[in-house]
Amino acid sequence: MAVTHSLGVPRIGAQRELKKALEAYWGGGIDQSTLRAVGRELRERHWLLQANLGIDWIPVGDFAFYDQVLNTTALLGAVPPRFGAAREVDLDLYFAMARGTATQPAMEMTKWFDTNYHYLVPEFTAATKFRLSCSELFDELEEAKALRVNRKAVLLGPVSYLFLGKEKEPGFDRLTLLPKLLRVYRQALRRLQAQKVQWAQIDEPALVLDLPGPWLAALHSTYTALAQDAPKLLLTTYFGAVDAHADLLKQLPVAGLHLDLVRAPQQLEAFLNDYPDDKVLSLGVVDGRNIWRNDLAKSLGALTKVHERLGERLWIAPSCSLLHSPLDLGRETDLDPELKGWLAFAVQKLAEVASLRRALVHGVASVADELAASARAQQTRADSPRIHCARTQYRLQAVGERHARRQSPFASRRIKQRARLRLPPLPTTTIGSFPQTAQIRRLRGELRHGRLSFAAYREAMRAEIADVIRRQEEIGLDVLVHGEAERNDMVEYFGEQLAGFAFTAHGWVQSYGSRCVKPPIIFGDVSRPGPMTVEWTQYAQSLTAKPVKGMLTGPITLLQWSFVRDDQPRAATCFEIALAIRDEVADLEQAGIRIIQIDEPAFREGLPLKRAQWGDYFAWAGLAFRLASCGAADETQIHTHMCYAEFNDILPAIAALDADVITIETSRSDMELLQAFGSFDYPNDIGPGVYDIHSPRVPAQEEMVRLLGKASEVIDARRLWINPDCGLKTRRWPEVEAALRCMVGAAQEMRHRLA
């Protein structure tokens, strides 16, 4: 009979208990034992939840206090030397690597494949040593054993761990570390075997990328070594197709393979052909990345023939870890009933996995109600009139290339913008948001619960804006922002004002560490009923003679950071959003706003994982950004912001966006990311981030001057802007003001040097 399992579940808790405990610990409100107790309670709750839903093998090792890749770094003792030598990685060292210290910057952070989850990038040199340095995984397995659940250990695979890391010295190839790394992996697997763990899930998501030949060649020797004195190994892939490697993967000495059939259903045939008789085949047929209800009949059709052939060697699972889904749809008591009927969160997805198993083992009659409900949801969604908007479709059909070009080239626009704005060399600005204080969150909550009128809320937000403008002028910034006090989230705020979007009350998903987001749901055609930001921005501009940026989230990011409808191409949905943002740009211009920033931090994240598909993505994503921005007059300066991405291989596409100014995250990489812009000869203006806002650390002015010096070696200083890495929403005012004063001081020092 078929077997069920999951690859991982959300770790933050139904009420974001992990987030609250982490922030309390970092703020000194609780001690380490209390934090650990919260983690233990969440793990046990989630293990029992999965078991009660009918999941046969429960993952242990998917929990992390910050990030699962950082967990692997801690397990392997691969601590960057700047944090000191330590035989054991305790929680304080773990958080130091994640968040930095007063003297040392945090590890670099980047996106986990094409998701909005961030991981801490491992750092490698020829001197890197590995040794078992953290017992968390082994301790958690004992916790699970005490609960009498069928535990399955989860480890990030050695090939993916190395590939997702970065060399920190020139001329070094991190793949040469593999033999040393395997010795420690083998120690860990032997320890699992001593704990009588039967299965170890080894995640190798890097296999869905265009892996270079030497990395692929290393797979066989890697798993030949790991399979000795180890539990049964389930080699797990997700986020794309690996059928190009089917013959290689089928020959590996592992006990089973997991395939993502949601992202790549076509790959099944390549694996079924001559599939070894001694291996399990796990099929991910329930979408771990989106929130739409599974078409159980369709999934059952795909599974039935495989089950007839494999029997108990067929395992059924979500496509990937459910880390990327909200926890439980059952908590959404206020969601529109029709829309709610189309959705499934992590709990419901696990129930779908269990239903598919019951249908295979006990016959379709045993899940007749579930099949009927699934079919009803598919049909009502397809037939619903709320999905389509004739006006939006009409506008899309009228779009032409002329709508996606600025009136003049950048060189001409730049002259007009400089004459209008009259900014000093190396202008200073911020990325947009300022601290979301407890007072701001309280006011927003009171408005949401009806305890505060909108008129009173509006006046309170105006007071916050006035305070932010005053602080910026006192600090001496050149281009100001209104601070975004009224915004709950850079995506959710806009989605709440766009037709075609819906929202949950508890649909939280982890982005990194304690940072959680509540992605909107795009269920239908998108349009803008009215202005979204104009009143707040116009009010801020009325308080100062300095230019205030209008702050918008771009169409690609609104798409990427939402749960997107799957009944039309993503490009079509993105164009709909772009037209809505275009309307907002026009209204901001009409209100006298001279600089408009359209943030696209998800531009790199949206890339397909296979390079062969990049061209198509660049074509439609670039068109979407230009549709949103190119209605602006030459005199209006368009900014965009991107963060935490490798830009080297996409710079032509970024240049094609034709934003007047791009601001990027560079401080964690010590301006390394900026090198690509210099080599490419990026044509427009650039604002490289000079300090890391994700750490509470306040860097000294001298440190920022050093970074700016490195930047000016790569980019003509006349084209440089000075800004933090990202928005300041999550920081506190004392550290924000101290850091920005240092930043303004660094700008003044650099201007003096240039003069």
What would the DSSP string read from start to end of 281-334?
EEEEEE-SSS-BPP-HHHHHHHHHHHHHHHGGGEEEEESS-GGGS-S-GGG-TT
**Judgement on whether residues 164 and 279 belong to the same structural domain of the protein:** yes
Same-domain pairing of 623 and 739:
yes
End-to-end CA distance of the chain: 77
Statement: residue 221 has pLDDT above 80: yes
d(CA 712, CA 426): 10
The reply to whether 688 falls in a domain is yes
CA 670-676-682 angle, to 5 degrees, is 120
Q: Per-residue confidence at 12, pLDDT binned at 50, 70, 90? A: very high
pLDDT value, residue 531 = 97
Predicted local distance difference test score (pLDDT) of residue 144:
98
Question: What is the pLDDT, as a whole number, of residue 505?
Answer: 93
Instruction: Give the domain range for residue 116.
Output: 3-64+111-385
Share of the chain above pLDDT 90, in %: 87
Report the pLDDT averaged over residues 571-592.
Answer: 97
d(CA 711, CA 690): 10
46-58 burial, b for 16+ CB within 10 Å, e for fewer?
Answer: bbebbbebebbbb
Average pLDDT over the chain reads 94
Give the burial class of 535: count Cβ atoms within 10 A of its Cβ; 0-12 exposed, 13-18 middle, 19 or more buried: middle
Mean pLDDT on 704-713: 88
Q: In this structure, what are the phi and psi dihedrals at residue 281, rounded to the nearest 5 degrees? A: -120, 115
Q: How far is CA 620 from CA 187, 259, 660, in A?
A: 48, 28, 20
Supply the pLDDT for residue 538: 98
- For residue 489, being part of any structural domain is answered with yes
pTM: 0.90
- pLDDT: is 24 or 649 the higher one? 24
Closest residue by Cα to residue 491 from 462, 511, 472: 511
What does the pLDDT read at residue 668? 67
Which residues face 110 on adjacent strands?
A: 119
Torsion angle, CA of 300/301/307/309, rounded to 10 degrees? 180
Q: In DSSP terms, which residues pair with 120 in a beta bridge?
A: 109
pLDDT, one tens digit per residue, over 333-354 is: 999 999 999 999 999 999 999 9
Beta strands 166-167 and 256-260: pairing type?
unpaired
Strand arrangement, sheet containing 232-236? 3-4, 314-318, 280-286, 256-260, 232-236, 199-203, 151-156, 58-60
Same-domain status, 491 and 351? no
Q: 3-class SS at 90?
A: coil
Predicted pLDDT of residue 418: 96
In one letter, which amino acid is 324?
H
Please count the structural domains in the chain.
Answer: 2
CA 179 – CA 469 distance, rounded (Å): 56
637-642/661-664 β-pairing: parallel
- Which bin fits 176, alpha (ψ -120 to 50), beta or left (φ > 0)? alpha
In whole angstroms, what separates CA 293 from the centre of its chain? 22
- Within this chain, do residues 378 and 490 fall inside the same structural domain, yes or no? no
Give mean pLDDT, residues 17-31: 97
Rounded Cα gap, residues 571 and 619, in angstroms: 10
Whether 134 is covered by a domain: the verdict is yes
Residue after which a domain boundary falls, among 356, 385, 414: 385
Task: Please classify residue 566 by burial: count the beta carbons closer than 10 Å to its beta carbon, then call 0-12 exposed, 13-18 middle and 19+ buried.
Answer: middle
Q: Which helix (H) or strand (E) holds 661?
A: strand 661-664
Of 674, 523, 662, nearest to 601 (Cα)? 662
**Does residue 333 come out as left (phi exceeding 0), alpha (psi in the -120 to 50 range) or beta?**
alpha
pLDDT for the residue numbered 401? 78
Q: Are strands 109-111 and 118-120 parallel, antiparallel or unpaired?
A: antiparallel
Provide the pLDDT for residue 439: 93
Mean pLDDT value of segment 171-189: 98
- 10 Å CB burial of residue 679 (0-12, 13-18, 19+) is exposed
Task: Show Cβ contacts of residue 131 under 8 Å, excluding neighbours closer than 6 positions.
Answer: 76, 77, 87, 184
Same domain, 159 and 269: yes
Q: For 215-221, what is the mean pLDDT?
A: 96
Same domain? For 493 and 356 the reply is no
Please enumerate in sequence order all residues whose Cβ is within 8 A of that of 436, keeping only pairs 6 or more positions apart, or say none: 485, 729, 730
Q: Which amino acid is at 29?
A: G
Q: Is residue 97 part of a domain?
A: no
**Structure tokens that stand for 330 in this block:** 């059952």
User: Do the beta carbons of residue 562 and residue 553 sit within 8 Å?
Assistant: no
d(CA 712, CA 695): 25
Note whether residue 105 is domain-resident: no
Across 175-189, 313-327, 647-661, least confident range: 647-661
Query: What is the sign, positive or negative, of the torsion defined by CA atoms of 69, 70, 74, 79?
Result: positive
> Percent of the chain having pLDDT more than 70?
99
Is 644's pLDDT higher than 60? no
Closest CA to 21 of 43, 36, 7: 36
Whether 733 shows a pLDDT value over 90: the answer reads yes
CB atoms near residue 228 (< 10 Å): 10
Annotated catalytic sites, by residue? 694
Cβ-Cβ contacts under 8 Å for 344 (sequence gap 6 or more): 286, 291, 292, 293, 294, 329, 352
**Confidence at residue 645, expressed as pLDDT on a 0 to 100 scale:** 60
pLDDT-derived band at 421 (thresholds 50, 70, 90) equals very high
- Distance, in Å, from the CA atom of 223 to the CA atom of 385, rounded to the nearest integer, reads 53
For the cut 80, the answer to whether the pLDDT of residue 626 exceeds it is yes
Alpha-carbon distance of 12 to 507, in angstroms, equals 11
DSSP3 helix / strand / coil % (the chain, rounded to 5): 50, 15, 40
593 neighbors 654 (Cβ within 8 angstroms): no
Note whether residue 196 is domain-resident: yes
Is the pLDDT at 368 greater than 80, yes or no? yes
Residue 749, domain member (yes or no) = yes
Which residue is associated with the tokens 């206020």? 334
Q: What is the pLDDT of residue 643?
A: 78
In this prediction, residues 478-490 reach a mean pLDDT of: 94
User: Tens digit of pLDDT for each residue in 50-108?
Assistant: 999 999 999 999 999 999 999 999 999 999 999 987 789 999 999 999 999 989 999 99
Closest CA to 158 of 205, 90, 97, 212: 205
Q: Provide mean pLDDT across the span 234-238.
A: 98
Q: At what angle do helices 346-362 and 32-53 cross, to 10 degrees?
A: 30
Is residue 667's pLDDT more than 90?
no
Q: Which among 352, 369, 385 is the end of a domain?
A: 385
Q: Is residue 412 part of a domain?
A: no
Which conformational region is residue 197 in: left (phi greater than 0), alpha (psi within -120 to 50 degrees), or beta?
A: beta
Q: Compute the C-alpha angle 439/444/445, nearest 5°.
A: 95
510-547 pLDDT, tens digit per residue, is 999 999 999 999 999 999 999 999 999 999 999 999 99
Q: What CATH number is given to the structural domain containing 319? A: 3.20.20.210
Among the three residues 353, 370, 385, which one is the final residue of a domain in this structure? 385
